[in-house]
Amino acid sequence: MPFRSMFRRLIDRLSRLWRMPHANGEARIEVHQPLWLIASLGLSIWYTLWPLPLVLTGLVVLLSLLLIGWLWTRALAQQIEASRTLRYTAVQVGDELEEVIEIVNRAPLPLIWAEVIDHSTAPGYALSGVYIVGGGAVKQWRVTTTCTQRGVFMLGPWELITGDPFGIFRVRQTYTQGHEIFVYPPLASLSPELLPRQRQVGDLQRLNHATHADTINMATTRPYVTGDPLRRVHWRTTARHNKLFVKVFEPEASSTVWLAPDLNATVHRGAGADSSLEKMIVLTASLAAHLLSERLAVGLLLDGQAGASVPPQSGEGHLWSILRALALAQAQNDRPFDQVLLEARSVFSPRDSIVVLTPSLDAQWPQALHLLGGNRFNFAPEAIVLDPASFGGKASAADFVLLLREQGVLAQVVRGEDIVPISGAYGEVRRWEFQTLGTGRVFVRQTPRAA
């Protein structure tokens, strides 16, 4: 047992020659050119067998280079420190992402080369490169990129690799920390036809029954039937027709709107920012922003299960919760849209209104939409159908929308080119601007939007 303990201590001490911790990770010294070690070993064997002066000279030179390279690399491993700071984070597609990278060399020896290898997942982000830092100097630079894709991305982890001037040894500093960023979908300007109108069912077909709750607006009157409360009798109409008539009230105004985008991958067409999926996400985000600005409560139905939905809330601050969910939204193949709507009955109230967004021309989801309300909709459901023909599909949505209207669904057709993102919809998109004074001093005139 003592022998094992001593052996472990020996191994641990030897490992410290090759591995050492630093502030944000670990530094590891690696042999980059093993040929130098092999040559030294060969000369050692040669000198042992034939102790010639020339062999000794070569062995001394090789061992000296190995020792210098080792000490140089170890000094760099212990006294070089790198950091990256996210100065301004992306808010929406089209904004700038910026980081400040800094390499501090506290060693008196120069850093002849330093390679940065980045493992970030942000599309188009290029941090990797080779840099030079003098002894006792600091190297600092900025990396910027324009965000072109919504989603959640990681900045880091990353590595800093350097070595001795002979190329024998390398030190690899691993920085394990990462920074998660959200790139939200942009917003688009909406035409008046696309704005949810919250029309009542009576706007499409005359209500033939009284509502369960009195409101301040009376829609019409109808003949009295057994069970109607006497307080609803409209006496003027009763006197005119010489029989009882009761008031029919307008349904109470809905203050909750559910947005239900179709995430079934089989119905979407196109690729990239011009695909029906991305256009639908932009349209959903834009509708949410508009409805919240109208002081309505907005919910997002991404799945029929309550845990996958964004519960309705009012206030413009709720927009960020919806945008976060939309940034993560991905199309799936195993979730038919009609099934999503049917499973939403656990979170949907007949008093709520709903806006469906889909490029699907399937007759199944309109049936599920009516079953969702159980024929008790206070408000006619609305549908925005993205025309498949505008995304490379063969079918047109015009006839399908007419059919939806006949079924009592307030439906509109929107083409891909109708949805144009607004640059800087969450605030002015700004870039770095510098101004040089007459004295030669440079100061920052404008910075990107702060995180």
User: Between 276-293 and 319-328, two packed helices, what is the crossing angle to 10 degrees?
Assistant: 170
CB 355 within 8 A of CB 300: no
Alpha-carbon Rg for the chain, nearest whole angstrom, is: 35
Which residue from 206, 187, 258 is spatially nearest to 425, judged by alpha carbons? 187
Which residue from 369, 366, 342, 336 is spatially nearest to 353, judged by alpha carbons? 369
CB 380 within 8 A of CB 410: yes
| Spatial separation of the C-alpha atoms in residues 190 and 195, rounded to whole Å | 7
Q: How many CB atoms sit inside 10 A of residue 340's CB?
A: 25
Pairing relationship of beta strands 80-88 and 25-31 according to DSSP bridges: unpaired
Residue 446 CA: distances (Å) to CA of 92, 144, 349, 429, 432 = 19, 15, 48, 11, 6
CB 128 within 8 A of CB 155: no
> H-type helices in 129-245, by residue range?
235-241
How is residue 20 written in tokens?
A: 């050492």
* pLDDT the model gives residue 388: 95
Amino acid residing at 434: F
Residue whose entry in the numeric block shows the structure tokens 């502030």:
23
The H or E element containing residue 337 is helix 337-343
CB 99 within 8 A of CB 142: yes
* pLDDT the model gives residue 425: 65
| Spatial separation of the C-alpha atoms in residues 118 and 127, rounded to whole Å | 6
Q: What is the pLDDT along the chain (451 residues), one digit of tens a residue?
A: 465 565 456 545 555 567 777 767 788 898 888 898 889 899 899 989 998 999 899 999 999 999 999 999 988 888 898 988 887 666 788 888 888 899 999 988 888 899 999 999 888 887 888 889 988 899 998 888 888 899 989 888 999 999 999 999 999 998 888 888 888 999 998 887 777 654 433 333 333 333 344 444 565 788 887 777 787 888 888 888 888 888 876 544 557 899 999 999 999 999 988 999 999 999 999 999 999 988 899 999 987 554 568 999 999 889 989 999 999 998 887 778 999 898 888 788 767 889 999 999 999 999 998 888 654 555 678 999 999 999 998 888 999 999 998 888 889 999 999 999 887 666 654 544 545 555 555 455 555 554 4
The string over 189-211, giving b where at least 16 C-beta atoms fall within 10 Å of a residue's C-beta and e elsewhere, is: ebeeebbbebebbbbeeebeebb
Q: What is the DSSP letter of 308?
A: G
* pLDDT the model gives residue 182: 86
**Alpha-carbon torsion angle 84, 87, 89, 90, nearest 10:** -100
* Phi–psi pair at 395, nearest 5 degrees: -85, 150
* pLDDT the model gives residue 16: 59
| Spatial separation of the C-alpha atoms in residues 35 and 24, rounded to whole Å | 32
* pLDDT the model gives residue 446: 56
Sorted by sequence, the CB contacts under 8 Å of residue 161 that are 6+ apart come out as 114, 115, 116, 117, 170, 171, 172, 173
Architecture per CATH, domain 1-184, reads as: Sandwich (2.60)
Residue whose entry in the numeric block shows the structure tokens 């079918």:
395
Residue whose entry in the numeric block shows the structure tokens 């599909």:
393
Which residue from 306, 342, 309, 307 is spatially nearest to 325, judged by alpha carbons? 309
Residue spans of the domains in the chain: they are: 1-184, 187-200+253-422, 208-249
Q: Is the pTM of this model over 0.85?
A: no
* pLDDT the model gives residue 422: 83
- Quote the longest CA-to-CA distance of the chain: 134
Which residue from 405, 390, 403 is spatially nearest to 359, judged by alpha carbons? 390
Which residue from 332, 327, 292, 329 is spatially nearest to 308, judged by alpha carbons? 329
CB 301 within 8 A of CB 260: yes
Amino acid residing at 273: A
The H or E element containing residue 40 is helix 34-49
How is residue 22 written in tokens?
A: 């630093």
| Spatial separation of the C-alpha atoms in residues 135 and 197, rounded to whole Å | 68
Query: Any idea which fold 187-200+253-422 has?
Result: Rossmann fold (3.40.50)
Residue 98 CA: distances (Å) to CA of 101, 370, 428 = 10, 48, 16
